[in-house]
Structures are given as C-alpha cells and as structure tokens.
Amino acid sequence: MAVTTADVAAVKASRVDARHRTGRARWLVLAGAVVVAVIMLVPFAIMLLNAFKSPGDYSQNGPLSWPQALYFDGVQNFWTRTQFPQKLWNSFLISAVVAVAGTLLSLLNAYAIGVGRIKGRLWVVTVFLLATMLPQEALIYPLFTMAQEVGLSNSPWSVIIIFTVIQSAFGTYLLASVLSTFPPALLEAAALDGAGRWTVLWKVVFPIVRPTLSVLMIFFFIWTWNEFFIPLVMLTTNDTQTVPVALASLQGDRMMDAPTTNAGALISLLPALIFFLIFQRTLTRGVTAGSVK
Amino acid sequence: MTSETLEARAQAGTTTTVRRRRRTPRWVPYLPYLVPGLVGFVAVIGIPFAMNVWYSLHKWKGGLAPMTFIGVENYADLLHDEQFWTSFRNSVSMIVAMVVVPTLIGLVLAAVLFDYLGKKFGSRTAAFLRATYYLPQILPVAVAGVLWNWILNAQTGAVNEFLRSLGVTNPPNWLGDPATAMPSVMLVLVWVQIGYPVVIFMSALQRVDPELYEAAELDGANWWRRFRAITIPQIRPETFVVVLTCTVAALKVFGPIYVLTRGGPEGSTLVPSYYSYLNFFDKSKVGYGAAISNVLTLVILVVAVVILVAQSRSERKEREGV
C-alpha cells in the first residue's frame, strides 16, 4: 500500500501548499476589496473635509488638506438660504403620509387579489407591475394640469396623492404574492368563528404580515424622500420644495462656494442616513421574518 | 370544510345545473377592497397616460394656448430629429453604466465577499465592506449629483484642484467638454449603482446550500470554478431581477443628468427623459414632449417584456434540466 500512502502524502503536501498560497493571496484579495471600499468612500470623505473649511483655506490648500480651522458659515449659509427647516418638514410630511397611505392602499389591493382571489387577478397584478415601469415623464404634464384644475397646484397634497398611488403599485405587486400564500386554514377558522372579511383583514391577516408591511413602509418613505422629478415639476415655490429639489435648485448660485455646496450635500444626506441606520435592523428582521414564514 | 371542497361544490353546481339558483362566486365580496386602489390608479396613472397619448397627437404650446390636432406628425418628426436619436444612443451608455458594469462587478464583489473574504476573515469584515459599497445607494440621487458636480467642476472642483496641485496646468473640464462629459457621468452612475447588485446578490447567496460549496472545495474546485459552476447558476433569479430593475431605471434616468450636465454639453449627455422634459417645460412643445415620453414608455415596456420572457425561458429550461 505504498502507492496510497504516497498519494495521501502528495495530496497533503499540495493541500498545505494551497493553504500557504491562499494565505498570502487572501491578503491581496482583502486589499483589493478594501481599495474598492476606499474608492466608494472618497467622495464622502472629501465632502466632510470641505464642508467645514473656509473658502480661502480651500482655494489655498486644496480639497485634500485638513481644515485649518473649523468653519461653520457654509452650514449656516445653506441652512438660512434654503430655509432648511421648512424643506425638512415638507420632505418629512410628504414621505410620511405616502409611506402610511401607500402601505394601506397596497394592503387593501393585495387582500382582494391574494386572499380574495378575485377573477382576472393576474391581469390586475400585471397592470400594476407595468405601471411601476412607466417613465414619470409620460404622466407629468397631464398630472400638472389636473393638479391646477382641482386647486392642488404647488401643493404637497398633489405630490402625496401621486406617490401614494405610484408606490402602492409596487406594494400591491409585492404584497399580493405574499398574501397568495397565506395559510387558508387560518382564514377558514376565522370564518367559522363568524368573522367578516373586514375583521379577518385586521385581526388575522394584518398581524401576520406586519413585518412585511413595516419593510414596505420604510422603503416607501426612503424612496419618496429621494424622489426628484415629480417634486421638481409640481412644487414650484420656495416654501413647498423638498430637500433634494432645494439643494439642486441652489446649484450654479453665486453663493454656492465649495464649503456651502459640501455643507448642503452633507445636511441633505443626513436624514436619509439616519433613517437607514434606525431602520436597518427592522429591514433585516422584516426580511427574515418573511422568509421564515 | 376546506376551500377545495367548497370549490369542488361550486364547480359541481355550475356543471350539473340541477339548481338554477346562481350563487355569487366567493371572490365578488372582495371587490370593494380593490376600489380605492383602482380609483387612485385610474386617476393618477390611467387617465394621465391616456391624456399624454392624446396630447402627443396635437401641436400645443401648453396652458391656455390652442390645441391643433396633427395626427402622428409629432412621431414622424421624431424620426428625423437628430437629438431624439442621440438621446436614445446615450441610453445605451446609461445601460452600460447602470446595468452591465455594476452587475458584472457586483457579481464578482458579492462572490468574493461571500465565498472568500467572509470565510477567511469572518462575516463581520464582509458585512462592513458590503455596507461601504452600499452607502451611495442611500443618498438622494440629487445629492449625489450635486456632490459630484462640485468634485468634477472645472474651476473649483476637488479633482482639478488636486490635479493643479500636482502641477497639471490645464486639467480637463470633465463635465463641460463633450469628449469627457459622458464618461464622467457614467463613472458617477457606476459609483451610485454598484451597491445595489452587491447587496441583492449577497442575500441571494445566503439561501444557497453551503454544502454545495463545501463539496466543490473538497473536489478541489478553485474559487473561479465555484464562481462559474455554483454562484452564477444559483443566483440567476436575482440576476434577472437586478438586470430588469436596473435596465428600466437606466432608460428612465433623469435626476443625475439634470443635476450633473442638463444634457449638455452639445447634447453629449442628453437622455430621452430629459429631452422630453425640455420640450414640455423649456421649449413649450407639449405635444412633442408627450410623443418622446410615449416612445420611451414603449421602449421600456418592450425591453421589460423581453427580459421577463428570457427569465421564464431560463426558468423552464432549469426545471426541465432537473
């Protein structure tokens, strides 16, 4: 059995070799992945470095130097010029109402489609899915004129109504497939207890899909917060604009020196970052809860 | 009583027609739940889209100006409109920057993080790297655009300030030169987009049976073999989802173009959505803008259907293969 032991030895040797090689290789791979990470982070770092640097300091020492003294005029400039608290409230109001109303609308639609199994449900879902792909440009001009006709021009409510429907098109598509796998035994038990459809929806279905609903709500909030095109067109004056629109419309302004631009970008991305950090746990929990069920 | 027996009885009732009494199907009482959604859908998507088609058949400056019916003339004009064709050619660049490059890099990054770094350095390292890749995804696209617009600005931008400090006397005007504008925009879009496929693919890899990888490793398959033989086939469904959603987004892209270049210089970064916006609100050619947006809608739907059909084919093939 000399052959086999030799084989085993050879295999072992090659294993050890391989491990040695990967031992060095793994640091190379890690370095590569870290380089990519650094490239992704550099713009954020440059933004942070220059948000608190005076314009003179910037033109003298360039974008990569450490600020010589902390300079808060950029933040202050941006804050007062855009009336930032107003913009923050506009964005918050629109996103929060859309998140709640859009989720509610998705749930009602999905209840009829997934649990009610209405006739032609495949068509309804397909139409909703296609609607999520429509370019907003194909809707904007009629929506703009319609808003004027019903007295909602330049009103946050026009944007709220539009996004509630647009987001719920996606929500319906997603929730309908979740609800179509809803255990029928639960529904029948509730029906035997004499519960009506409305009661079943809120007492049986709602508690079980709540994790999915909260994920949907967070997505709707962040997506609506980040929306640009429809708010840009529909909200025409300074006091109704949302945060992204306010930042973009200051572009090219003489007052927008490097620190003000960077401070503005920094302040505008903070809310999104904060929501993300707060909700990250809910998101992962919601996703796993959905998959386990 | 299970729903199956209920359905069976309902069927029996209709086929034998012993009793003439027609029972309302059990789905009818659920219809009221669909009413709010349908009303909203018709008001916000159905009617506006129909109106947009109607507009596109007219010459109209918008507002109270008179509307003249001109049939398909707007569409005929599009065929000879150089800018229109440019905008759709640029959509190809958008697809490269938002779909092709991020999906390919995302596949490799996700597989490296999951199947290599995650095992050699622990899952926390992989999770941290994944978070840094994902960071650009959470910032509003307008904010990303404003930030990059400044970074790439010819006079005061960070890149050129840095180049000048290195002694480059005449650094390029990244977004202002027709030769460099599109590559610059594409680079920004790759930066924005890359985290999305990485996160989707990594979560997809978590549902792959680890024994597959272990068995392949014992058989002596190196990383590249495992990547080709396990990773790619296993996460094909997610790849289709990423390709579909990103392609639709690439065809629709508006915000980054508006904030970075406004379609310029010399139309070198013009995209269909921005061109239609220009006609609606800048040139007051509402009918023409509507026609552009309708063509864009058609293109998106065709592309989406092609991808969905390809997906169901590949699923069928897989099922038959097994």
pLDDT of residue B53: 96
Digit-coded pLDDT (tens) for B232-268: 888 888 899 899 999 999 999 999 999 999 987 888 9
Tell whether B63 is covered by a domain.
Answer: no
**How confident is the model over B38-51, as a mean pLDDT?**
95
- For residue B68, give every residue at least 6 positions away whose Cβ sits within 8 Å of its Cβ, in sequence order, or none: B58, B59, B60
Please indicate whether, in this complex, the C-beta atoms of B45 and A135 are within 8 angstroms of each other. no
Q: What pLDDT digit, counting tens, does each position of B49-64 carry?
A: 999 999 999 999 988 8
Q: Quick one: pLDDT at residue A22?
A: 55
The mean of the pLDDT values for chain B is 87
In a domain, B69, yes or no: no
**Helix, strand and coil percent figures for chain B, each rounded to 5:** 75, 0, 25
Does one domain contain both B238 and B301?
Answer: yes
Give yes or no: residues B33 and B92 share one domain: no
Look at B132 and A222 and tell me if their CB atoms are within 8 Å.
Answer: no
Q: Which two tokens stand for residue B93?
A: 């660049």
Rg (CA), chain A: 27
ipTM for the assembly: 0.83
Residues B199 and B290 in one domain: yes
What domain range includes position B7? 3-56
Domain boundaries of chain A, sorted by first residue = 82-249
**Does one domain contain both B30 and B166?**
no
CB contact under 8 A, B142 and A245: yes
Of the residues A137, A162, A202, A222, the best mutation for testing chain B's interface (the one with the most B CB atoms within 10 Å of its CB) is A137
**Same domain? B91 vs B196:** yes
A119, B3: Cβ pair inside 8 Å? no
CATH says A82-249 is which class?
A: mainly alpha
Residues B141 and B7 in one domain: no
> Are B264 and B185 part of one and the same domain?
yes
Residues B26 and B120 in one domain: no
B310 located within any domain: yes
B152 CB neighbours in chain A (<8 A) are none
* pLDDT, tens digit, 9 for 90 and up, residues B82-111: 999 999 999 999 999 999 999 999 999 998
Give me the number of domains chain B comprises. Answer: 2
B228 and B280 belong to one structural domain? yes
pLDDT number for residue A16? 42
pLDDT level of residue B20 (50, 70, 90 thresholds): low
Question: What stretches in chain A show pLDDT beneath 70?
Answer: 1-23, 252, 254-255, 281-293
pLDDT in tens, B113-152: 988 888 888 888 888 898 899 888 888 888 898 889 989 9
To the nearest whole percent, how much of chain B has pLDDT over 70? Answer: 93
Q: What is the CATH number of the domain that holds B221?
A: 1.10.3720.10
Question: A259 burial class (0-12, 13-18, 19+ CB within 10 angstroms)?
Answer: buried
Residues B239 and B109 in one domain: yes
Residue A251: predicted pLDDT: 77
Whole-prediction pTM value? 0.85
Based on the fold, state whether residues B147 and B26 are members of the same structural domain. Answer: no
Cβ separation B146–A247 shorter than 8 A: yes
Q: How confident is the model at residue B21 (pLDDT cuts 50, 70, 90)?
A: low
Same domain membership, residue B44 and residue B138: no
How far is the alpha carbon of A2 from chain B, nearest alpha carbon, in Å? 23
Residue B300 has pLDDT above 70, yes or no: yes
Who has greater pLDDT, A171 or B156? A171
Chain B residues in contact with A137 (beta carbon < 8 A): 254, 273, 276-277, 280, 289, 292-293, 296
Distance from CA of B312 to the nearest CA of A (A): 15
> What contacts A77, CB < 8 A, 6 or more positions away?
A255, A259, A260, A263
The average pLDDT across B14-36 equals: 73
pLDDT of A253-293, one tens digit each? 766 778 888 888 898 888 888 887 887 766 655 444 433 33
Which residues in chain B touch residue A29, judged by CB atoms under 8 angstroms apart? 112, 116-117, 120
Question: Which of A134, A172, A265 comes nearest B146 by C-beta?
Answer: A265
